Chains A and B, each alone.
Chain A
Amino acid sequence: EAGVAQSPRYKIIEKRQSVAFWCNPISGHATLYWYQQILGQGPKLLIQFQNNGVVDDSQLPKDRFSAERLKGVDSTLKIQPAKLEDSAVYLCASSLIRTLPTDTQYFGPGTRLTVL
């Protein structure tokens, strides 16, 4: 079974530029999550989708971050404009259904973003 795919793996941009990350979840997984992991910290949930609907975006900085999940499969996360403090690893995860906590989340390898 293929895992969660993310691209790019690394991205370096200057502050005030825009950037987009892409995620392809495990086939058949209804729930998709985007996390931000700053160096030395645990992942922090940014947004959670159930199929193509948003169920939790309470920690998403909506003035600069946006995300969409078209057709309930792939998802993109965008930052516009980027700030220095956005430097982090952005992790995508998926799960089969959304009945926490018994549902296992499967994580992708992440995209490491450096903002200069």
Chain B
Amino acid sequence: SQKIEQNSEALNIQEGKTATLTCNYTNYSPAYLQWYRQDPGRGPVFLLLIRENEKEKRKERLKVTFDTTLKQSLFHITASQPADSATYLCALAHGSGNTGKLIFGQGTTLQVKP
């Protein structure tokens, strides 16, 4: 069956360290993958998109990798800050063209301690 798995346990790290979040999937062949941030009581906010032919994408302190052989994406936040504390969701673009849709993982909660 098709599955998207993110770390179900919260990730607690110290301010200034690098946070690494994992998104694994099975029985999908996504052409694209997106990462979103969700704060309590709010809707998800788009952060980054990476295509299957891109190994790595960066935006300021954020870095995303996409390994279609391992069926895994890693999301890194360098020099983490308490303001980075939130739930991070990965989403696969499943299907093609106008029939495609986003399938979300369950999210990983990140807590950055000062």
A4–B104 CB distance below 8 A: no
- The answer to whether A44 has its CB under 8 Å from any CB of chain B is yes
- The answer to whether A91 has its CB under 8 Å from any CB of chain B is yes
B100–A109 CB distance below 8 A: no
Interface residues on A, range: 20 to 34
B49–A100 CB distance below 8 A: no
A104 partner residues in chain B, CB cutoff 8 A: 46, 49
- The answer to whether A116 has its CB under 8 Å from any CB of chain B is no
A-B contact count (CB 8 A): 60
> Chain B nearest CB: distance from A77 CB in Å?
15
- Given the interface contacts A107-B45, A109-B42, A110-B43, does A100 sit within 8 Å of B104 by beta carbon? no
B34 partner residues in chain A, CB cutoff 8 A: 101
Interface residues on B, range: 20 to 34
A40 partner residues in chain B, CB cutoff 8 A: 106
Cβ-neighbour of A45 out of B97, B102, B105 (below 8 A) = B102
Task: Tell me the residues in window 17-75 of chain B with beta carbons closer than 8 Å to chain A beta carbons.
Answer: 31-32, 34, 41-46, 49
- The answer to whether A98 has its CB under 8 Å from any CB of chain B is yes
B101–A56 CB distance below 8 A: yes
- The answer to whether B89 has its CB under 8 Å from any CB of chain A is yes
Per-position contact with B for A90-110: 1 when CB-CB < 8 Å, else 0? 010100001111101111111
The A interface, classified by DSSP as helix, strand, loop or mixed, is loop
- The answer to whether A48 has its CB under 8 Å from any CB of chain B is yes
CA distance A100 to B105 in the complex (A): 18
Per-position contact with A for B75-114: 1 when CB-CB < 8 Å, else 0? 0000000000000010101010111111111110000000
A55–B49 CB distance below 8 A: no
A41-B106, A110-B41 known; 16 other A-B pairs, CB under 8 Å? A4-B43, A40-B106, A41-B107, A42-B4, A42-B107, A43-B89, A45-B101, A55-B98, A91-B43, A98-B98, A100-B32, A100-B93, A100-B97, A100-B101, A101-B31, A109-B43
